[in-house]
Structure 1
Amino acid sequence: MSRRLEICAASLHSARAAQAGGAHRIELCQNLEQGGITPSYGLLRQVLRELTIPVFVLIRPRPGHFAYDAGELAIMRADIDLSRELGAAGVVLGALTAAGRVDVAACRPLLEAAGPLPVTFHRAFDDCPDQAAALEDVIGLGCRRVLTSGGAATAAAGAAQLAALGRQAAGRIGILPGAGITAANARAVLAATGAPELHTSAKRRVTGPQPASMFGAEQWETDAALVAELVGLLAD
């Protein structure tokens, strides 16, 4: 049974590498070191021009918690509108109450803005203390899948909870394991969870000479060879 691989790509280079390695879909974002935020207009437009695989767009206006005010929700709706206009294949979003419940009232207009685009509820889900209740809320909203580590630091550590969520979902929504997925643990996560797809960034630290800059920072990019290795493992 062939399973699918989604790559979280935070740059044009990473998006290109994901496609070159055989990924089936990307989640496009920026600022991945803080969990990812909505990509810029320029990045989104260029990626959609170059890639032929589906591009899902992260809709997250800032790093940090997932309880949004009215202004932030308006920004998210505008970013969903833009993603649709530019031809994205789907969007990835989530909003919670201060108590850690799925904010159904905030999410519903976002899904309405998405229209026919499939929606993934992102790892805000892992901030929910009661994941069983959260899953029912996400299903009720009409999301296509939920990206989660099962509330653990990694999907491998949360495999038992991911399996429980899959049983609860019973085909009503897809459970997409993510966080810390590598070639070393991908098969074990698949076996433990029965998931039909996995999510990872498949990145390496960029090495080699860099222009001197007082603003220099460590750089990580998706690596096509790592993607290809994972795709091969999922196909076996």
Structure 2
Amino acid sequence: MLKEVCVENFTNVPDVIAKGADRIELCDNLAAGGTTVSHGVAEVTINYCHDKNIKVMSMVRPRGGDFVFSKEEVDMMKRDLVHLKELGTDGVVLGCLTDTGWIDEEAMIILLDIAKGLEVTFHMAFDHICPESQLKAIDWLVEHGVK
């Protein structure tokens, strides 16, 4: 069984690893559902975790609120994803929706292309897909390499 712990900054990382965490989900601003962390937090956490053979999944989300992102916000996500990949993150946690409550396929395909070589998790945006479309959404995500 994988024991993943979601952390908001580096402060608790050594303790949760000592208590048995197998993987860290790194994000900022948990009160807003999680957003992308700063460069410093990402670099220190990824390096520390890798020294302990612990994988890091990094949140790629420019803001709290809904999961319908503007072109500019998707551009921010692209930059953050490239940056986190360069820092050595093992995977990313992300999700984009349309205003109709479906996967923003265009944005996701762009982000998934940049994320090649990383594990990708579609985050809680999934819960905002209408229930009758969720099985179809799972199929779309699996077809595009999302865990």
State if a TM-score over 0.5 links the two structures: yes
SS across alignment from 1:8 = strand
TM-score normalised to the size of structure 2? 0.93
Q: What is the CA–CA distance in structure 2 between the aligned matches of 1:38 and 1:10, rounded to whole Å? A: 10
**Partner letter of residue 137 of structure 1?**
W
| Matched position secondary structure for 1:76 | helix
Which amino acid counterpart does residue 31 of structure 2 have in structure 1? Answer: E
Task: Tell me the residue number matched to 1:37.
Answer: 35
Q: Report the Cα distance in structure 2 between the residues aligned to 1:22 and 1:113, rounded to whole angstroms.
A: 31
Once the 2 structures are TM-superposed, how far is the Cα of residue 103 of structure 1 from its aligned partner?
A: 1.1
The count of residues paired between Structure 1 and Structure 2 equals 142
Separation in structure 2 between the aligned mates of residue 102 and residue 132 of structure 1, nearest angstrom: 12
Structure richer in helix, relative to its length: 2
Tell me which residue corresponds to 1:119: 120
Equivalent residues of 1:31, 1:37 under 8 A apart: yes
After TM superposition, the structure 1 = structure 2 runs for residues 4-23 of structure 1, keeping only pairs within 5 Å, are 4-23=2-21
What is the distance in 1 between the residues matched to 2:14 and 2:126?
A: 28
Deviation of 1:75 after TM superposition, in Å, equals 0.6
Aligned match of 2:143: 140
Unaligned runs of 5+ in 1: 145-236
| Superposition deviation, residue 92 in structure 1 | 0.6
- Match of 2:25, SS state, is strand
Equivalent AA in structure 2 for residue 44 of structure 1: A
Deviations 1:189-236 (A, max 9, x none): xxxxxxxxxxxxxxxxxxxxxxxxxxxxxxxxxxxxxxxxxxxxxxxx
Q: Alpha-carbon deviation of 1:115?
A: 1.4
State the alpha-carbon separation in 2 of the partners of residues 94 and 100 from structure 1. Answer: 12
Deviation at 1:49, TM superposition (A): 2.1
Q: For the residues of structure 2 that align with 1:17 and 1:10, how far apart are their CA atoms? A: 13
Report runs of 4+ in structure 1 exceeding 6 Å deviation.
Answer: none
Q: How does 1:6-155 map to 2 (within 5 A)?
A: 6-51=4-49, 52=52, 53-129=54-130, 130-144=133-147
- Calculate the aligned-residue CA RMSD, in Å: 0.9
Distance across 1 between alignment mates of 2:84 and 2:20: 23
Distance of 2:117 and 2:9 partners within structure 1: 26
8 Å CA contact 1:15, 1:28 repeated in 2? no
CA distance in 2, matches of 1:16, 1:86: 19
Consecutive unaligned residues in structure 2, runs of 5 or more: none
Q: SS at 2:28's partner residue?
A: coil
SS in 2 for 1:95: coil
Work out the CA distance in 2 between the residues paired with 1:33 and 1:113: 28
Alignment-derived partner of residue 179 in structure 1: none
Distance 1:84 1:72 in 2: 18
> What is the DSSP-based 3-state SS (H/G/I as helix, E as strand, rest coil) of the residue aligned with 1:36?
coil
Structure 1 or 2, whichever has the larger Rg, is 1
Secondary structure at 2:64 match in 1: coil
Question: What is the CA distance between 1:19 and its match in structure 2?
Answer: 1.1
SS at match of 1:134: helix
Instruction: Return the TM-score normalized by structure 1.
Output: 0.59
Give the Cα separation in 2 of the matches to 1:5 and 1:16. Answer: 15
Cα offset, 1:117, TM superposition? 0.5
